[in-house]
Amino acid sequence: MPEWKERVPLTRSHCERITALDSKHINILIPDDTSNYYNYKGAHSIILLALVDDDYCFSYVNVGTNGKPSDGGFYQVSNLAQALENNTLNLPDLSVVMADVAFPLKSYLMKPYRTTPTRKGKIFNYRLSRARRIVENAFGILVTIFRFLMDAIDIMAPKNVDRITLVTYSLHNWLRKTSDMYITQRYVDFEDIQERVVVPGSWRAQLRRALESLLPTRYSNHASRRQYQ
């Protein structure tokens, strides 16, 4: 992965290169094997595990595992966990991965303090949260652009959902690298240095409006599906 070293990092808050890890559930129609795809959120889904760099590009995506396992449990048995453990991803020196409490603490993987931290711990948690905003923004932008990801994907075969999902991530990366207008400065969260506050990116308002527009049709869509079945 030589491209890791080709682009100048946007921030050096923790290390030479910021990389954030997170997972996302992609909702699907009720599959034949319902129990394995039923997740803790009360929906049927497949799990997506992703690494996002500090330029909002997805550097690693694993999609297709049924939605039943926890995020941390899925990570533990993933190829990504083995690659990070064995240091085979060719990441730059001093790189660490930022994650949330669902993932295991490692020398190369930082997570927030779960119990009530000391003052230094609170500062660490705050800075870690700042660094992890890149993955939240990347997922949010992806769903805002490819809006079919907001609702259950109307395809019966989960493997086809996997393929479609991977295509969206490839398109996202391509657009990010080829178009300066795809992600503008205020489209993502940014810090107002003078006011010392984080200003939400405009994608959040777009996503909220898109979700609100879906609400009136969701119930009728589900009803029509049940009637069809």
Q: Exposed/middle/buried for 164, CB within 10 Å: 0-12, 13-18, 19+?
A: middle
Reported confidence tier of residue 217, pLDDT bands at 50, 70, 90: low
Using the predicted structure, report yes or no on whether residue 203 has a pLDDT greater than 80: yes
Contact assessment for residue 29 and residue 37, using Cβ atoms and an 8 Å cutoff: no
The continuous run of DSSP H or E covering 163 comes out as helix 158-178
Reported confidence tier of residue 64, pLDDT bands at 50, 70, 90: confident
Using the predicted structure, report yes or no on whether residue 114 has a pLDDT greater than 60: yes
Reported confidence tier of residue 215, pLDDT bands at 50, 70, 90: low
Comparing CA positions, the residue from 90, 109, 122 lying closest to residue 14 is 109
CATH code linked to domain 18-180 = 3.30.420
Residue 76 CA to residue 94 CA, distance in Å, equals 22
Using the predicted structure, report yes or no on whether residue 221 has a pLDDT greater than 70: no
Q: If you search the block for the tokens 């500090």, which residue do you land on?
A: 54
Single-letter code of the amino acid located at 175: L
Residue 47 CA to residue 71 CA, distance in Å, equals 8
CA 222-228-229 angle, to 5 degrees, is: 90
Residue 211 CA to residue 173 CA, distance in Å, equals 24
Lowest mean pLDDT among 57-61, 159-163, 185-189, 214-218: 214-218
Using the predicted structure, report yes or no on whether residue 137 has a pLDDT greater than 90: yes
Domain spans in the chain, listed from the N-terminal domain onward: 18-180
